[in-house]
Each structure stands twice: as structure tokens, then as C-alpha cells.
Amino acid sequence: MKTNKTFKAFTVASLNLLNNNNHGIEGNFIAGRMPRIVSFINTEKPDSIGVQECDMGKDRGNMRTAVNEGIAPSGYVCAQEEQWDGTTYAFKNFIWYNSNTTECSDSGQMWLSETPDIPSKGFGAKHYISMGWAVLKNKLTGMSYLHVNTHLYAIGAYTETPEERAAIRLKEADALLAHIGALWDKYKVSSVFLTGDMNEAEGGAVYKKLTEWLEDTRYLAKDTTNRITFHCFGSRSSVIDFCLCSIDKSVVNIDRFDVVEEYEGKLISDHSALLVDVSIKN
């Protein structure tokens, strides 16, 4: 007999790591923050986490390696490979999953461009804009979900106008939704979670476009918060990081949406981490 009880199935997380900028504050470079980032993941134990700005440039060390070395002993596996174009690294939006609780049947990466299957810059962007994806299954419940992680365009040349950057992001959002739809059709997963730094606030064209199909877990969650996600070490105050989803609400609940600014008494990044608890109705 079915009951109305639910139990936690898994947690999805997101964090923009901030590659090599301390915004003028001593101790905020990645080398000083990486131990806190690693400790945060190992302690919170999300079942999957999407990170942005996980850079691998020589001037800042290999951040993917640093994260991996810190959390792999806890069972975390990175779902994406490094991508080098001969001059720079072309992919920075990695997903790690907890192999103790989660299985990965397939994963990959795409670029939000006219040629998505190869490292490429598209729609006028001056940087590589990409998405990582992983088809995951919770071992306890057998529930499968698609985790997609991205970071939309911010700025590539100071000659660009805000309107030009916004137009690029909107094209990226269209491509993002098309790729998510194709992956969903291919793998027949029951839920989709999109994490990332969208570089645009609620109410903007990108948010409106994405939420035509996906819903914001901030507003679905029973236990939620109105805290901002981008503070830039005190100089900004906005919500530009999101965990959007498509779920079957007759089966799945979003129990908690949390925004974590500090860990061990200090800021994790110039962005806050997002934690989203998902439960299954019994």
C-alpha cells in the first residue's frame, strides 16, 4: 500500500570555483580557497556536483587535478575529460559524482556553438562556452537523472555592449535546451537537473527562456532561502546561479534548496554554493 511518506534520495550541488581572481582581497586566490572547497564537498557529500570556472591554465595550476585529488579518496569520479585546443583549455564545467551512492552510465561535454561536438567558440562569444552532462542513477532508489552543468557568457571584449552579450547568452540558452532535450529523449531519464552560472538574473531573457521548460528548484523546495548567489566578496549582490529541473511531481519532491556562502568561517568563492535535496515519494 502506498503512503504519503518520502525519503531523501540524493543531493545535487553547484559551485562556481572562481579561477584566478581575488578581487583585490588577500587570501582569496584559488590556492587559499581550494582546501575549503574540497572540505565542503567531502563534508556535504552531494551525489553530484557541477562546478564552473574549473580552469587548468598554467598560471593558476590545474584546478581539475586539485579538486580531483581532494575528493577522489571520498569516492568522487569526474565525468568529463580535459580538453586542450593546443593553446588553452577549452572546457571548465565539470561534473563529479559520488560513486558510493551513484552510478554513471554515460557522460560527455558539448560546446554551445554552431559546432557543438568539437571545442569551439560560437554565437560571437570570445571564450569557450560549454556544457558537461552525465546520466546518473541513484543506487538506493534506482532513480535515474540527467545532470547538466554550464556557465553562460559574461564578457570577452570590453568593446561588447551589454545588449550584445545578452544576445549571445540567449543563443546559448537555445542551444542548451536543444541539447538537453536530445539527451533526455535518448536516455529516457525520469528527471533533469541543470546547474550553472547563467550570468543573468531572474526576470532576464535567459531565465525566462530556460524556465519555459525547466522549473527553479529555489521555488519548488519546501525548505528554501532567498539568499543571493553572487556576492563577489562583498561588492555585488545578485542571483545568477541556478539549479533548474524537470521532474515528475507525482513521484519526486524538491525538499531543500540552500545557498552556502561560507565554509569553515570563510568564503568559498565569489559565488555561493547551491545544495538541492531530492526525495522520492513512497
| Residue 11 within any structural domain of the chain | yes
Range of the domain at 134: 6-281
R_g (Cα) of the chain, nearest Å: 18
| Residue 165 within any structural domain of the chain | yes
Q: Report yes or no: 91 and 80 within 8 Å, Cβ to Cβ.
A: yes
Residues with Cβ < 8 Å from 269, sequence gap 6 or more? Answer: 15, 16, 17, 18, 33, 37
**Domain count for the chain:** 1
Other beta carbons within 10 angstroms of residue 76's beta carbon come to 23
| pLDDT (tens digit per residue) in 65-96 | 999 999 999 999 999 998 888 777 899 999 99
Q: How confident is the model at residue 1 (pLDDT cuts 50, 70, 90)?
A: very low
> pLDDT at position 8, please?
79
| Residue 1 within any structural domain of the chain | no
CATH of the domain at 221: 3.60.10.10
Alpha carbon separation from 107 to 34, 40, 110, 146 (Å, rounded): 25, 24, 10, 9
| pLDDT (tens digit per residue) in 243-277 | 999 999 999 999 999 999 999 898 899 999 999 99
